[in-house]
């Protein structure tokens, strides 16, 4: 008798995992976008430059690097709050931290600081990162390019 896990091929599981990770990565990007939404409101009126492949790869690398930190911060805050609802946390809005216990506020601030560093370490300014995130919402071609880059970056060396 076959196990349930044998019913799904390794490729199928890998694809499902990649797709799930992509959605989490885009959610992370959304959090970062919210963190700097005030500065984007004025910049959104100017046309966005075309994003090149290097920027797409840098963006994907930053998103992948941020995701574990985002999940960890979320889980830590969730443990502190218990069954309570976790408020929406916006990095550049200190008022969004007010509903959190002091220790949870520290976790959120630490995550926001790390996210900024991760973006910079991957060769993008926060403005560039946020512009790409904003453009992803309306540009299916860019969304596909970022998705492909995320998949490529997650592949093990022997599967490339």
Both structure tokens of 102: 């002091």
Q: What is the pLDDT of residue 159?
A: 54
The structure's pTM equals 0.63
- 52-76: per-residue pLDDT in tens? 999 999 999 999 999 999 899 999 9
- 104-145: per-residue pLDDT in tens? 989 988 998 999 999 999 999 888 888 898 899 999 999 999
Q: Which of 77-81, 93-97, 141-145 has the lowest mean pLDDT?
A: 93-97
Q: What is the pLDDT of residue 23?
A: 52
Contacts of 21 (CB under 8 A, 6+ apart): 64, 67, 150, 154
């Amino acid at each position: 008798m076959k196990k349930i896990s044998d019913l799904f091929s390794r490729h199928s599981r890998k694809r499902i995992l990649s797709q799930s990770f992509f959605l989490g990565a885009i959610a992370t990007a959304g959090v970062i976008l919210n963190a700097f939404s005030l500065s984007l409101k004025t910049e959104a009126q100017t046309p966005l430059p075309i994003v090149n492949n290097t920027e797409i790869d840098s963006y994907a690398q930053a998103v992948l690097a941020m995701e574990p930190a985002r999940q960890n911060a979320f889980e830590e805050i969730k443990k502190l709050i218990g069954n309570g609802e976790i408020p929406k946390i916006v990095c550049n809005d200190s008022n969004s931290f007010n509903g959190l216990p002091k220790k949870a506020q520290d976790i959120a601030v630490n995550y926001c600081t790390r996210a900024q560093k991760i973006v910079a370490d991957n060769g993008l300014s926060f403005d560039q990162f946020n512009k790409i995130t904003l453009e992803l919402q309306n540009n299916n071609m860019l969304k596909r390019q970022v998705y492909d880059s995320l998949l490529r970056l997650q592949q093990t060396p022997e599967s490339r």
